[in-house]
Amino acid sequence: MKMLIAGEWISTPETVDVINPYTGEVIDTTPSATIEDAERAITSAHRHKKIMAKMPRHLRAGILDKAASIIEDRAEEFARRIVSETGKTITEGRRETARCVNTLHLSASSARAFHGQAIPFDSMESGVGKVGYYRREPLGVILCITPFNDPLNLVAHKLGPAIASGNTVVLKPSEMAPLSAISLCEVLIEAGLPPLALNVITGSGKKLSDPLIKNDVIKMISLTGGVVAGKNIAAAAGMVRMAFELGGCGSCIVMDDGDIDKAVKTCVSGAFAAAGENCVSVQRVLVHASIFDEFEEKFITAAKNVSYGDPMREDTEMGTMISAAAATAVQQRVEEAVVEGATVHAGNVRDGALYAPTVLSGIKRDAWLSTNEIFGPVVALYPFEDFDDAKEFSNAPGGAIHMAIFTSNINHAYEAFGDLEASMVLINESTDFRIDAMPFGGAGSAGLGREGVKFSMEEMTEPKAICVSLG
């Protein structure tokens, strides 16, 4: 595949292999962009930013709706591409493709409806005889950096709102799974997006990081990635708007008055979907001591029954991780926990990039696994006696995207909502739940700003006011 710079799809002498994590085969190559390529992309985006800023919103909306329809017509092709480059299951690939279609349609609807409002100047004596309003204008050039784990829909969550709000974009997808992102960009151009409005840079993130993030032309960086990457970019970027979704280590709390069977079912699903490579994956489950043994037994049984393996099989429930190296790193963390006293009840078996659904207990509260996102199919179970203690433990890492509680007590539910430090608290649902229209992001160290189409558009624009004196 090629990358898009200054309105042209181009190749480079040096390329990067894209590997199918299940088969180990090279499925495609992408250009390895140079620093000069990155600078040229940014310059082009800046030079042509008026193309999108002056485009009527009905045209922006029409492009996004048409792109969504094209992807819907080619849904199976997109789903299989997702599976090939990430190791997600075919069911998950289809689900992500459907969500991408929804995200683009949401972006189209928001393009038509996004607006400012009148300013009540006469609320002050000095404002009598004056009228005006503000509207939201695009920032200009948006740098979008996307990860491998949702290679289509997470890209749509950045491109859709950016286009809807009239910005030009420089997109840097993960070098490990760039194919779905490039295909989405091809569809947007096919749907009528001016090629000069979008630049796609492929290759090494480390090599391209400085020229991309330290360029004063960039007005906003939209990143989905890890905490370390987010801190490094924030330290280097200078005065630029940032929207960072960085992941975290949220908890699911199961009270003694909660529905155990529902908690087991939704937490198992939330833990092992996408092989745990999900920023809202279930990793820590805190269970009231009075029901811990029952919950643990049912959870272990359910985890052992998760079918994993060939991601193209219709009956496979969990595919591979993104690479053998990623699976090895997860296994090493589990082995470290075992040395420190943890017990493995299921899993901890690796075959290349395939790592079995793994369940642990007996992990110390200050252990690495208790305070960091592992980003793999690993769940740690913890008993607790006191609700306040469970909330304190949940908040200890300093930031999370989602947290959850299973309870039939409305007071417990609202207490959790008030006290848990996360951007969303789910009641009787696991942390893994999300829809594309909701505000989405991290609290504390888990992120800055919010995604979700309308909320992303607010991040990608700024208010500009007009005042007219009527004399």
d(CA 371, CA 374): 9
d(CA 365, CA 267): 20
Residues 6+ apart with CB under 8 A from 3: 9, 10, 12, 30, 31, 33, 37, 182, 200, 201, 202
Residues 6+ apart with CB under 8 A from 389: none
- Residues recognised as catalytic: 245, 279
d(CA 409, CA 387): 12
Q: What would the two tokens of residue 121 be?
A: 């100047």
CB 130 within 8 Å of CB 465: no
CB 129 within 8 Å of CB 142: no
DSSP annotation string for 60-75: HHHHHHHHHHHHHHTH
d(CA 273, CA 306): 10
Q: What would the two tokens of residue 277 be?
A: 């490579």
| DSSP reduced 3-state for 106 | helix
Q: What would the two tokens of residue 213 be?
A: 């993030």
d(CA 282, CA 260): 16
Q: What would the two tokens of residue 432 be?
A: 């893994």
Q: 57-73 and 179-190 are packed helices; what angle lies between their axes, rounded to 10 degrees? A: 120
Gyration radius from the chain CA atoms: 23
CA dihedral 124, 129, 133, 134 (to 10 degrees): -60
CB 325 within 8 Å of CB 357: no
Would you mind telling me the total number of residues written for the chain in this entry? 471
| DSSP reduced 3-state for 171 | strand
